[in-house]
């Protein structure tokens, strides 16, 4: 039987893996079960963090490369958005013993900024010590997708952001990074999201039900 408790669930993966879709489906499932929960995302999740998100996206599309943010400026903006998100939304919700579902979190920073753009890991780790203050997801889903499926899904998007514009090799390397992060971690589940969304949705809800003792 479900007993109200704080619980933090994160979905990670490359663009076109279906994490936003599955995050929404899980949120709908918990609502039907009348479990207090919120659905959020990174970068963003709060008014101030969404403003920072828009700033990052706007910079990325500037045609003049000289006007683009340095990779450390870019990373600091992501971390600033996370700080706002954690302090004003995630931690207050956890104090209320809610279930939080977040589309991307710290693993995306490691995969994209550290392993992708070669930002120094300790640079991010030192800032995380302060802004996270020990906060960690209870459960992380890494959605693994074939690059073919990812490409097809991205081509169908009417509105694209910076994440949808990277090269196939970047996505391939990013996915390898996510799989590396998840390796040998008990609270990580790597699930193939290349084909049947309904089967994946059922598997995710079953895993979450087990962790939260939902019947």
Report domain extents, the chain: 7-212
pTM more than 0.95: no
Token pair in block for residue 28:
């709908």
Nearest one of 144, 68, 63, 136 to 106, comparing CA atoms: 136
Question: What pLDDT does residue 195 have?
Answer: 79
Question: What pLDDT does residue 174 have?
Answer: 87
Question: What pLDDT does residue 194 have?
Answer: 84
Token pair in block for residue 141:
């889903």
Question: What pLDDT does residue 56 have?
Answer: 86
Question: What pLDDT does residue 150 have?
Answer: 62
Nearest one of 184, 185, 187, 179 to 210, comparing CA atoms: 187
Integer Cα distance of 145 and 73 in angstroms: 30
Fold of 7-212: Rossmann fold (3.40.50)
Spatial contact of 115 and 20, defined as CB atoms under 8 Å apart: no
Integer Cα distance of 82 and 140 in angstroms: 17
Residues of the chain under the 50 pLDDT cut: none
Question: What pLDDT does residue 212 have?
Answer: 95
Question: What pLDDT does residue 201 have?
Answer: 95
Question: What pLDDT does residue 113 have?
Answer: 93
């Amino acid at each position: 039987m479900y007993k109200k408790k704080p619980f933090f669930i994160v979905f990670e993966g490359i663009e076109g893996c279906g994490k936003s879709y599955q995050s929404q489906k899980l949120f709908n499932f918990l609502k039907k079960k009348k479990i207090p929960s919120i659905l959020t995302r990174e970068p963003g999740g709060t008014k101030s963090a969404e403003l920072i998100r828009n700033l990052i996206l706007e910079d990325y599309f500037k045609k003049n490369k000289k006007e683009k943010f340095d990779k450390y400026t870019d990373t600091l903006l992501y971390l600033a958005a996370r700080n706002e998100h954690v302090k004003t939304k995630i931690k207050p919700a956890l104090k209320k013993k809610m279930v939080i579902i977040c589309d991307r979190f710290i693993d995306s920073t490691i995969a994209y900024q550290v392993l992708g753009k070669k930002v120094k890991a300790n640079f991010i780790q030192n800032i995380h010590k302060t802004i996270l203050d020990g906060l960690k997801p209870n459960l992380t889903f890494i959605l693994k997708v074939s690059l073919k499926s990812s490409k097809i899904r991205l081509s169908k998007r009417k509105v694209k952001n910076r994440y949808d514009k990277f090269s196939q090799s970047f996505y391939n390397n990013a996915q390898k990074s996510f799989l590396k992060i998840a390796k040998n971690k008990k609270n990580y589940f790597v699930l193939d999201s290349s084909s049947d969304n309904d089967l994946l949705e059922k598997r995710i809800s079953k895993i979450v039900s087990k962790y939260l003792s939902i019947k």
